Each structure stands twice: as structure tokens, then as C-alpha cells.
Structure 1
Amino acid sequence: MVFVRKVKTASGATAVQLAEYAGGRDRVIEHLGSAHTEAELAVLLDLAHAKLHEGQDELDLDWARPVSGAPVVQAQASQLLIHAIRSAWNRLGFNEIGDEAFFSLVLARLVEPTSKVDSLRVLTELGYEAPHRNTFTATMKRCATRGYRDVIATKCFAHAATAGDVTLCLYDVTTLYFEAEHEDDLRKVGYSKERRVDPQVVVGLLVDRHGFPLEIGCFEGNRAETATIVPIVRQFADRHNLADIAIVADAGMLSMANLHALDEAGLRFIVGSRVTKAPADLGLFLPEVGVSEPAADEQHA
């Protein structure tokens, strides 16, 4: 049986669809649109019920009632949202990339993080003319061959350096899993923060003190977190010819190899550690770099 289905989207809108229950799940027959207000929702629901009963005969009871045609939604678009995102895109200088398909993919994923194919639905709901899905595939290839990441990283640094400073940077990692059966050279099963056993990648992100992104890196899913911080920091420092920066990281990044690598690169660092563990860590590292170990009363301050 066909029924009217309302679904909340990640952007907070309410999608109205005609669907049927088949094979143990709801199958969408037609997507009628997404409503952001009660008025838009009422119009879409009227349209859905009109389509649901379309072509059905009615008894001519000659009741005195106003006659009106079914509401028809000609078009809808989230112009203000699109304008706000494009304005920020241009203000940061990302438009230098000159790839409209790449912008549309970023737009879709900012509104609702999803797959390349499903991004077409998101763009359609926004009222934005979506490219063909093959165009998205070609765009992702251009990202790698034309150095989009380098362009964006340079623009992000320029913005952060102008708006504030980059003498203090914060680093952390996360994991992104894939619903794939087999591993490859990058997507591998490893320690998952979500306790999953799917192939995944490890993503490292370096931000300024306000949380603005400066550098990002992607690693094999089975790489240890402690093995990601030094490559990202070195990549960032080399890209912008920096020498005097301090890196803040949590206890997950704490390893003797990392502390030595950051120190040898002439970079300052602040590493969070549990109070009970900190004296032992400092006791191993500080004497090696010519710093005396804190006194007992200082350790527990």
C-alpha cells in the first residue's frame, strides 16, 4: 500500500515522500520535496495526498463546498543558505580552484554529510542544480591531480594568519569507517573510536587556537594515532616555512619518539597526560633534553 511518508533530514528539514512497504522496508516511490516551515509542510502534504488519491472516482453528492485545485509546488530553494556558504567560500579564496562541481559537492556535504550519489538528493532539496554523479567522480580525481588540498591549505593559513596567529596549534585524530567488505591499501581494519570492525581511515587535523582548520592528513586505518602527529606537523611547518610554533595534543599523542621528533624540529609542544602518569613521562624525557626533573612538590601542584 502506498502511503505518505515524512522524514527528518540531517539539515533539520522535513522530507515528504510517497512510499510503499515492500520486502521488509519502506521503498520511496517519489520524493515531493523538503519543508523548512509549517506552511511549506502543509503544502507538500496536500500535494502528497492529492497524488495519493489521484484518478480515484468521487460520488457526485452536489455538496456545497468551495472548489479549489490541488496546490502545485513549482520550485523551492534555500537561497539564503546557499548564498551564505558561497560567500564564505569566496571570502576565504577557495573560488581560486575554479571548479563549480567541487563547490556543489562541498555545499551538499556541509548541509548533510553523505555519499557522492546521495549528495545529488541533498542539492535537489536545496534547489541547487545538481551535476551528474559521474561529474562528482571526475571532480574527486581532479582534487588529487590538481592539488586542491594544497590550494585550500594555503588559503586557510592566510586567513588564520591575518585574523589571528598560528603560533599555537591544536592536533587530534578521528576515524572514518566504510561499509566495505574488503580492505585495500588505505582502508584497513584498525582501532576504531566507534568500536567497529569495518575498514577505516585515520584522519589527522591541525587547527589554530580558535578551531579553524590549517592542515589535514589521511592515513591507513591500522596506523597508530601516535604515528600521525609528526607527519602532519612537519607538512604544515614545511608548507609555510614555520619554525616557531607550539603544538597542543592530548595523551593519545604522547610517545617518546614524538616528543623527540618535535623537539629536534625546534617546535614547542604541550602534551596532556594524566596526573599520575605525567611525572614518569617527564622523568624519562626532560633529562634527555637538558631540563631537570620537577621537584616533588611541583609535580603535585
Structure 2
Amino acid sequence: MDAKRDGLVPRSVPAELLRGFLKSQYARDDGAGVLPGFEHIEGPTSPAGAAPTCPKTCKICIQHYRPTDWQQCDWLRYASVWDDDQAVKAILSASEKAKVCFDQVAGVLKRSGNSIARRWKKKSVSARAALLREATLELEDQPRAAQGLIYQPEQEDVATWKRNHESWLLPYLDIDGLSRNPSRLLLLLHYRTHHTLQDWFAHDCLHLKCAFSEGLVMIAYNPHCVVVHENRYGDLREWESVAAHRGDIVGFPRAMATFEAQERLAVVLKTVVDLLHGNEAPLGNDH
């Protein structure tokens, strides 16, 4: 079995830690069952609550939490540990801010969408790139997704790693791609404002797979899970095997990163629309 190929450990894990991982992945706890592998390694400082009881080899839970083996690496440790109150507040803050931003964007597009689209399309590639740079410092010039194949976070200092955190939340967006193809931004605005945050959760969560497993983003720990569907979207609840493996709930570490990614995208799109809407003569209404 190739653990790195199968996604059980990140590619950047040193050889000695990989050997330890392979040696321990089928470990048994005195014959009583498979030894759980998703606790927070600092133990007593962790908030109350049971971590997943799946083995380290569970291909679902390993996408929601970082196994204890991974946490031996500095860049794969959790950046912070949050109690339930902190976790609930963080989720609520991110989801509410994203919703408010998308609602505001939808309102502007309803009144002046055609005019905004014409303005964006009329700009040159360099002018579109300049506007995007004015709107956000979080987008890279080139796709982050491709850089992830060679990026090594352990070679950076902590300050640089933290600065890069924001751009890794949206690895599929880059200034070059958005400025060269004006339709990409317009499609983003249309589909993101015509569908709910929960409609997009699976997409946004999937795009964090590399960043989560490679230590490219700062991840907060809480042992619980987050509801990611329907009216209870964002609720914190205890881990439960069937619901977690069915996808109704997602472990807090991966879920929180996804909520943060949705918030950042909403802020970026709102800022771009505000610049297009306000930097020139009044748009008026399209109708």
C-alpha cells in the first residue's frame, strides 16, 4: 500500500513520520478495537467532547480531521483549539457575513447587473487585473491549485505561511484567469447569488482538500461536527458515524475552513462589484 498515493498522509510528511504512520495505522487497543487516531495531541487542553472513533485509515474522517500522526509536524498541527462557544460564534460569524455580502451583491445585480457586466467586459485585461488587485490581496496572479503540487509549507517562516493562508482558501481563483476571461467573474456572480451557501458547500469543501491535508491553511480544532445541509446549516453537533460518513455533518476543522472560504469569496465578490458600481458614473437601473 502506498499511503501517500492513497491520500492517507500528505506528500510533505517526512520519511520517519511516514514510517511511524504505516507501523501504527492498524494498531489495536489491547484487543478492544481499533485505536482511534483523530484526537488533538495536546489532550488535556482540548475542549470536552469525543473525537471520531474511526481508525486513522478512515478515508472520510481523515478529510475532516488531522490524524495524530500528522500533528507531529509543525505545519500540520492545529493553529488553535476552540471550545464550543468559540466554535459556534466563528461559524455563525462567517456564515452570516457571507450571506449578507451575497445578498447585497444580488441586490446590486438585480438593479444594475447588465451595466456592471458591460463595464467589466469593456475593460482591458490589464485594467481588469488592476481592479482585482485593488479589490483583494488574497488572490494570486497564477492558480494556487497548480502551485500546490510543489509548494512546501515547512520551508517557510510562520509569518509567510499565515499570509498565504487567505489565498489557499480560494485555490481555484486567480487574477490572471479572471482578467483574461471576463465571463468567469460574471458566472461566479450569477451562480453564487442564485444558490445558497449550503448548495455550494460540497464544492467549496472539495477545493480545500489539498490545502487541508498539506498544511497550507491554518486549521482550528474542535472535536464536534457541523451540519452542512438544509435549515440547520452551520449547527454544531457531536460526531456520529452514520451522519458523518453520509455527509450530513462534517468535522469542525474542515467545515470551519470551508465556512471561512465562503466568507472570503463573498467579501471579494462584493468588493469587486462595489468598485465596478462606484468608481465611475452612476449606473442607474437596467429596467
Name the TM-score, length of structure 2 as normaliser: 0.26
Whose RCO is larger (CA < 8 A, sep 6+)? 2
Q: Which structure: greater helix fraction?
A: 2
Name the TM-score, length of structure 1 as normaliser: 0.25
Q: Which structure: greater strand fraction?
A: 1
Return the index of the structure with the highest Cα Rg. Answer: 1
